[in-house]
Amino acid sequence: MWLCEGKEARHERSMRPGACWIGWRAWKRLSRPRLLGKCCWRRGASIPDRAGCRTRSCCGWCWRWGCSPICPSGRCSNTPGGCAPASAAPRGRAFPQVRKVSLVELGTHVEVALAAGGWQDGERALALTLVEQIPTDALLLLDRGFYSYDFWKSLDARGIALVARVQSRLVLRPIRHLADGSYLAKLYADSSARTKDRDGVVVRVIDYYVDDPQRVGHGQLHRQITNQLDEQAFPALSWVCAYHERWEVELVFDEQKTHLDPVRPGKPAALRSETPAGVRQELLALSLGHFVIRALMAEAARQARLDPDRLSFTGCLRILRCRLPEGAGLTGARWQRWCAALLWEMEQEVIAPRRNRVNPRVVKRKMSKFAKKRPQHSGLPPLQKTFVETVVIT
């Protein structure tokens, strides 16, 4: 329903029963926010089996690690004035905002689960509500903003493989140094527990630098911790490169916000619903539409024995928008032939391997914690080293 005409039409029109046959089936089940939420969570629970990188041939992640890399991340979206609860409107701003935290499978860009709240709700608090949605065989990559002792301990108790970047000022006293340059240490809830050696959690610490002056973070100490203690099975450099892939989650937000439903004339805010229930329903519907595209792309990549990153998202989106009305009313063998033809067409949307490039961490917006973009940040010279070649384990 979001793929065929939802980009240009109002959401009341794009979600009407007559949009297309697939839209009608979805409308019957998703027209109420409560049913939409249940359906989205049910799909989210089954995503790792249906669209995840369980196929060793299509994704190097699972071929090497035997698990799906998942990363939590969040973003804020503007909504039309008056559509969100009063607590969601920041003082002095024109639009209320809604904050969404998603669990994203990095190999296929599939959104496994999501939680939404007002702008005042922290990303860590929203991520805590998604703990039960994390598969036990996942590799969870945590940013510095998501790390906490209680969060780490609860996930570690479930047997989930964890890799987190933490602040370099976090006190981690070496217990034993390992052959690959990492070392074992203990996490504590506070300084009192550290002094008494109470409730410590053993982790593996990896400290490293980036020796390429062209890259962001050059000369700074980067620190990661993991609960995978075997340095023979999982060398320190491999974990550094694994965490580096966490930035794939930003591409997922770009796909949803820029390509699926961008801001345009007649839609001044990222979300256009005018009621709190409509905002939640729109977020879930957008997630379902993104899931449909990425699930089909994962299947097309599996058949072509390609990494899902090698298929163009915009190209596959255009194909699906073009071919979706043709599937109206098809059943049985005709439906199977239509699906096979759709997947074959998506297999042709192969893009070139990604270039070795980097972008400075600056923004155009003036009021931000990041530096403002200046002329010297444009036209950077090409990189001479890959990321792996710049890592120096201390």
Query: How much is the pLDDT for 38?
Result: 35
Query: How much is the pLDDT for 218?
Result: 83
Helix/strand/coil (H/E/C) assignment for every residue in the chain: CCCCCCCCCCHHHHCCCCCCHHHHHHHHHHCCHHHHHHHHHHHHHHHHHHCCCCCCCCCHHHHHHCCEEEEEEEEEEECCCCCCCHHHCCCCCCCCEEEEEEEEECCCCEEEEEEEEECCCCHHHHHHCCHHHCCCCEEEEECHHHCCHHHHHHHHHCCCEEEEEECCCCCCCCCEECCCCCEEEEECCCHHHHHHCCCCEEEEEEEEEECCCCCCCCCCCEEEEECCCCCCCCCHHHHHHHHHHHHHHHHHHHHHHHHHCCCECCECCCCCCCCHHHHHHHHHHHHHHHHHHHHHHHHHHHHHCCCHHHECHHHHHHHHHHHHHHHCCCCHHHHHHHHHHHHHHHHCCECCCCCCCCCCCEECCCCCCCEECCHHHCCCCCCCCCHHHHEEEC
Q: pLDDT by residue for the chain (394 residues), tens digit each?
A: 444 344 444 444 344 333 333 333 333 333 333 333 333 333 333 333 333 333 333 444 554 555 688 999 998 888 776 444 444 444 444 457 889 999 999 989 999 999 998 888 888 889 989 988 888 888 999 998 899 999 899 899 888 999 999 988 899 999 999 999 999 999 999 999 999 999 999 999 999 999 888 888 888 899 999 999 999 888 999 889 888 888 889 899 889 888 887 766 666 677 777 778 888 888 888 899 999 999 999 999 999 999 998 999 999 999 999 998 888 888 889 999 999 999 999 999 999 988 888 877 777 766 677 788 888 888 888 888 888 888 888 8
Domains, the chain, ranges and CATH? 59-287 (3.90.350), 362-393 (no CATH)
